[in-house]
Amino acid sequence: MNILDKIITDKRQELILKKEIFTVKMLEQIPFFERNTFSLTRKLQNSHSGIIAEFKRCSPSKSMINNTALVEDIAIGYENAGVCGISVLTDEIYFGGTLDDLITARQNCNLPILRKEFIIDELQIIEAKAFGADVILLIAAILTKAEIKRFSELAKSLNLEVLLEVHNEEELHKSLMPSLDMIGINNRDLKTFEVSLETSKTLSKLIPNNFLKVSESGISSVEAITDLQAYGYQGFLIGENFMKTENPGKSAKEFIKNIDR
């Protein structure tokens, strides 16, 4: 069993327990459920840098990245740095995140927030809206075409944008549909955790122009962004490169300043 299979197995067990505690009706009573959402797509389209900065404490590939950073400080720092949006990991077992991180980020910034999660159930999408997200991530590798359609259409009905993540041509072809806003190419193989920016370059020409292109993982230099922009990418998800530093917000600010030069 590879790491992705382990994550999904644990996620299914987590959801069984969660459904014993939470109902859709309960989530709909949370004040943030009725808020007007921010558009990440629009922010990226109007940005020169296209940075989506991530908050995460650890990952299966790198173990602990930053276990002292406070999500409220990071959210404020990233907003001051001029990022387009914030990605918040909410998986606890493998990434050290929680839904509390999501709602805390929402309370401390006015940026679009992406809930970074392994979504396999409608309840998680309702949760995303209730806890302050503006965008959800759907991962093609763990979903059928019918699930991608059902989940993305539910998200759109809640005024959430959808970032669909793919790793190869097969996943891309099965996933394209009108209820998606952005196509993210993950340069990290979720089964082996090997990283290559060539994945984004190779798949870029297969993404129709009506979807905004996002490159994810392994982006650690201004040169990488400039290179990928030539392939039509307008969004760049960066997490570890900022989070491994003492001051992620300051690191993001310096990074964006170098792009703008």
pLDDT in tens, 183-207: 999 998 767 778 899 999 999 999 9
> Is 165 known to be catalytic?
yes
CB 221 within 8 A of CB 204: no
Using the Cα atoms of residue 109, residue 65, residue 190 and residue 118 in order, give the sign of their dihedral. negative
Tally of domains in the chain: 1
> Is 122 known to be catalytic?
no
**Partners of residue 99 on adjacent β-strands:** none
Tens digit of each residue's pLDDT (9 = 90 or more) over 74-131? 999 999 999 999 999 999 999 999 999 999 999 999 999 999 999 999 999 999 999 9
* pLDDT at residue 261 tops 90: no
pLDDT number for residue 219: 94
Residue 27 structure tokens: 């989530």
pLDDT number for residue 260: 67
Helices of type H across 20-121: 24-28, 40-45, 71-81, 92-95, 99-108
Average pLDDT over every residue of 229-254: 95
What would you measure as the largest C-alpha separation in the chain, in angstroms? 53
> Is 116 known to be catalytic?
yes
CB 15 within 8 A of CB 122: no
> Is 54 known to be catalytic?
yes
Range of the domain at 144: 3-259
Tens digit of each residue's pLDDT (9 = 90 or more) over 42-88? 999 999 999 999 999 998 877 799 988 999 999 999 999 999 999 99
Q: For position 173, which CATH number holds?
A: 3.20.20.70
Residue 142 structure tokens: 């763990």
> Is 179 known to be catalytic?
no
Given the residues 116, 129, 213, 253, the one annotated as active site: 116
Tens digit of each residue's pLDDT (9 = 90 or more) over 128-185? 999 999 999 999 999 999 999 999 999 999 999 999 999 999 999 999 999 999 999 9
Given the residues 152, 217, 241, 251, the one annotated as active site: 217
